[in-house]
């Protein structure tokens, strides 16, 4: 979709459809009022007759209204004017898209930028960005592998955000650029997640990283092969990869467009392209969904690509340890002991706790970049779904200011996380009789003990861990990757950029 901004009155738009808001109790938004006046009370008449109450989710499509230049007007009910939250704003956008898709209009001018959203920083920039990601979300389909693509006959082509005056055009255009870059990053992450594991292999991800390298300036991709990792002593990562015919990789993407002395933000994404559980084999039901076990990696790709697309003056490094977890004859067995790059030994009591095994070596590797902060993103534990469901990602950190930054970035963009404690009290659950630690923490607090495991490899820097097991994809009829937490991560980086620039 092509997005742009424009100022001007709604009745003067020569376009397929104009979208305006109506609030609960039949209250017209300013642009609905303007159209009402131009058309001698057409809208207020309808509203009085009860055709449109303005409740959240109501819509009414009107044609050929007197004294307007557009073919159609879509009234969108937004509920109580004072109660519109981020969540409701996104919902309004989704409802609008559904209706527009069925209307035949291909070019739209939307006045929903007028909607007041609760919270003081929900400004024009925020509304445009949020709308773009919500609209693209509603239009997303993964059609790549169907022989017959079901495209709508008259797809939406052009979407114009109305701004209240010429003075707002610049701000609006910046927001459009940001929104489209973030939305493209989300799209990239969704496609990558939805690809099946026979296509999306560690080798595929490495090739993808090389492609980003050629597409963007200030972007450098390096891929470590199993030999290289052997030399670095990455015994934990390699122990997972050994069970598969696919070669494991460590992908390193450096986007360096900030000050030379600005330490980088390092993002580490779990890239298990298929998690069968290994010798501790998973049950069969829904095992196909373990193709999504690389969604942490996908979010790193999506975030880097959004930042590079926007040419943000920042230094970000993406590290993606990527393997397939399979039960081969030389796969790790429960009880095996391996040595990580950090020198710490690990007793593998369950081969299905493989994410932490590949992450720990990637986290040790991250030290060499002298990071400002390190954030890892991983579909790490089923326990996280039990604890938090599908709404927030789980957040654990060894540095509270970093945790707070992530919490507030998530709130702002609607891609939220929620903090769980990372107290030392939990550490003893990882005790092993035979090695420095076990790879599972036994009964209770599975999400936290997984983070405790990782914390033993992140002592040298500020670190946060996002467990995205509950949010990275949807199951059931709407099965598909969500592209989360690309929004959260790019919002975090935009917030940090503001901080660096004002310093
Ligand atoms: N990738 C899974 C976690 C997962 C499971 C995410 C289901 C989303 C849905 C991870 O590798 C795993 O298998 N974790 C185990 C850890 C356990 C063996 C300590 C789990 O959560 O059961
Ligand atoms: Mn597993
Ligand atoms: Zn896994």
Instruction: Annotate 1-21 with b (16+ C-beta within 10 A) or e (fewer).
Output: eebebeeeebbebebbbbbbb
Q: CB within 8 A of 373, min separation 6: which ones?
A: 265, 266, 399, 402, 461, 462, 463, 464
Distance from residue 467's CA to the centre of ligand 1 (Å)? 11
Nearest Cα residue to 2 out of 140, 204, 160: 160
Distance from residue 376's CA to the centre of ligand 3 (Å)? 14
Nearest Cα residue to 483 out of 292, 200, 204: 292
Confidence at residue 404, expressed as pLDDT on a 0 to 100 scale: 98
Nearest Cα residue to 86 out of 494, 410, 490: 410
Q: Is it true that the peptide bond before 485 is cis, omega within 30 degrees of 0?
A: yes
Confidence at residue 154, expressed as pLDDT on a 0 to 100 scale: 85
Confidence at residue 157, expressed as pLDDT on a 0 to 100 scale: 95
3-state secondary structure 156-207: CCEEEEEECCHHHHHHHHHHHHHHHHHHHHHHHHHHHHHCCCCCCCHHHHHH
Q: What does each of the 503 residues of the chain score in pLDDT, given as a tens digit?
A: 999 999 999 999 999 999 999 999 999 999 999 999 999 999 999 999 999 999 999 999 999 999 999 999 999 999 999 999 999 999 999 999 999 999 999 999 999 999 999 888 889 999 999 999 999 999 999 999 999 988 777 889 999 999 999 999 999 999 999 999 999 999 999 999 999 999 999 999 999 999 999 999 999 999 999 999 999 999 999 999 999 999 999 999 999 999 999 999 999 999 999 999 999 999 999 999 999 999 999 999 999 999 999 999 999 999 999 999 999 999 999 999 999 999 999 999 999 999 999 999 999 999 999 999 999 999 999 999 999 999 999 999 999 999 999 999 999 999 999 999 999 999 999 999 999 999 999 999 999 999 999 999 999 999 999 999 999 999 999 999 999 999 999 999 999 999 999 98
Confidence at residue 149, expressed as pLDDT on a 0 to 100 scale: 83
Nearest Cα residue to 108 out of 153, 55, 154, 70: 70
Please provide residue 64's backbone torsions phi and psi, each rounded to the nearest 5 degrees: 45, 55
Tokens of 7: 């100022």
Q: Which whole-number Å values give the CA distances from 139 to 14, 42, 226, 231, 431, in the listed order?
A: 24, 31, 40, 46, 49
Pair 106, 156: CB distance under 8 Å: yes
Q: Is 256 strand, coil or helix?
A: strand
Closest atom of ligand 1 relative to the 293 alpha carbon: 1
Q: Is 353 in the pocket of ligand 1 (CB under 6 A)?
A: yes
Q: Is 106 in the pocket of ligand 1 (CB under 6 A)?
A: no
Q: Supply the pTM of this predicted model.
A: 0.98
Tokens of 9: 């009155």
Mutate to test the pocket of ligand 1, among 355, 358, 381 (most ligand atoms within 8 A of CB): 381
Confidence at residue 153, expressed as pLDDT on a 0 to 100 scale: 78
| Dihedral sign for Cα atoms in the order 184, 190, 193, 198 | negative
Strands (E) located in 232-364 = 249-256, 265-269, 271-275, 315-325, 336-339, 345-348
Confidence at residue 120, expressed as pLDDT on a 0 to 100 scale: 81
- 282 catalytic per annotation: yes
Q: Is 468 in the pocket of ligand 1 (CB under 6 A)?
A: no
Tokens of 383: 């326990």
Q: What pairing do the DSSP bridges indicate for beta strands 373-378 and 437-438?
A: unpaired
Q: Which whole-number Å values give the CA distances from 315 to 196, 263, 312, 397, 453, in the listed order?
A: 32, 7, 9, 21, 28
């Amino acid at each position: 979709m092509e997005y742009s901004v424009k100022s001007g009155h709604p009745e003067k738009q020569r376009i397929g459809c104009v979208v305006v808001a109506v609030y609960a109790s039949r209250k017209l938004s300013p642009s609905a009022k303007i159209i009402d006046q131009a058309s001698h009370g057409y809208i207020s008449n309808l509203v009085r007759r009860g055709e449109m109450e303005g409740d959240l989710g109501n819509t009414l499509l009107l044609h050929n209204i007197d004294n307007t230049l557009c073919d159609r007007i879509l009234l969108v009910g937004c509920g109580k004017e004072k109660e519109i939250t981020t969540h409701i704003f996104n919902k309004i956008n989704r409802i609008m898209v559904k209706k527009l898709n069925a209307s035949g209009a291909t070019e739209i001018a939307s006045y929903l930028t007028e909607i007041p959203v609760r919270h003081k920083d929900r400004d024009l920039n925020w509304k445009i960005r949020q709308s773009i990601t919500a609209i693209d979300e509603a239009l997303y389909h993964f059609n790549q592998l169907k022989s017959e693509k079901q495209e709508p006959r008259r797809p939406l082509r052009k979407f114009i955000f109305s701004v209240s005056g010429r003075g707002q055009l610049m701000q609006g255009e910046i927001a459009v650029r940001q929104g489209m870059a973030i939305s493209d990053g989300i799209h990239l992450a969704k496609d990558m997640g939805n690809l099946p594991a026979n296509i999306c292999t560690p080798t595929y991800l490495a090739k993808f990283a090389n492609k980003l390298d050629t597409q963007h300036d200030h972007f450098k991709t390096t891929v470590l092969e199993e030999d290289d990792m052997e030399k670095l002593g990455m015994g934990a990562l390699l122990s997972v990869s050994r069970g598969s015919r696919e070669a494991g990789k460590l992908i390193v993407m450096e986007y360096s467009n900030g000050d030379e002395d600005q330490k980088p933000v390092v993002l580490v994404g779990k890239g298990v392209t298929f998690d069968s559980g290994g010798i501790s084999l998973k049950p069969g039901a829904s095992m196909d969904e373990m193709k999504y076990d690389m969604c942490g990696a996908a979010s790193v790709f999506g975030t880097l690509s959004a930042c590079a697309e926007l040419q943000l003056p920042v230094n970000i490094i993406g590290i993606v340890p990527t393997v397939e977890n399979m039960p081969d004859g030389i796969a790790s067995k429960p009880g095996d002991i391996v040595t990580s790059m950090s020198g710490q030994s690990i007793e593998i009591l369950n081969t299905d706790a493989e994410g932490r095994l590949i992450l720990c070596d990637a986290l040790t590797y991250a030290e060499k970049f002298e990071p400002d902060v390190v954030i890892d993103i991983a579909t790490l534990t089923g326990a996280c779904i039990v604890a938090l469901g599908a709404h927030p990602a789980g957040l654990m950190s060894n540095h509270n200011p970093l945790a707070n930054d992530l919490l507030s970035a998530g709130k702002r963009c609607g891609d939220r996380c929620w903090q769980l404690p990372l107290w030392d009290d939990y550490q003893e659950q990882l005790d092993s009789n035979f090695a420095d630690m076990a790879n599972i923490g036994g009964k209770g607090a599975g999400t936290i003990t997984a983070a405790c495991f990782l914390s033993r490899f992140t002592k040298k820097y500020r670190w946060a861990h996002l467990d995205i097991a509950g949010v990275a994809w949807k199951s059931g009829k709407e099965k598909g990757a969500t592209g989360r937490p690309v929004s959260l991560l790019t919002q975090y980086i935009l917030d940090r950029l503001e901080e660096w620039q004002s310093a």
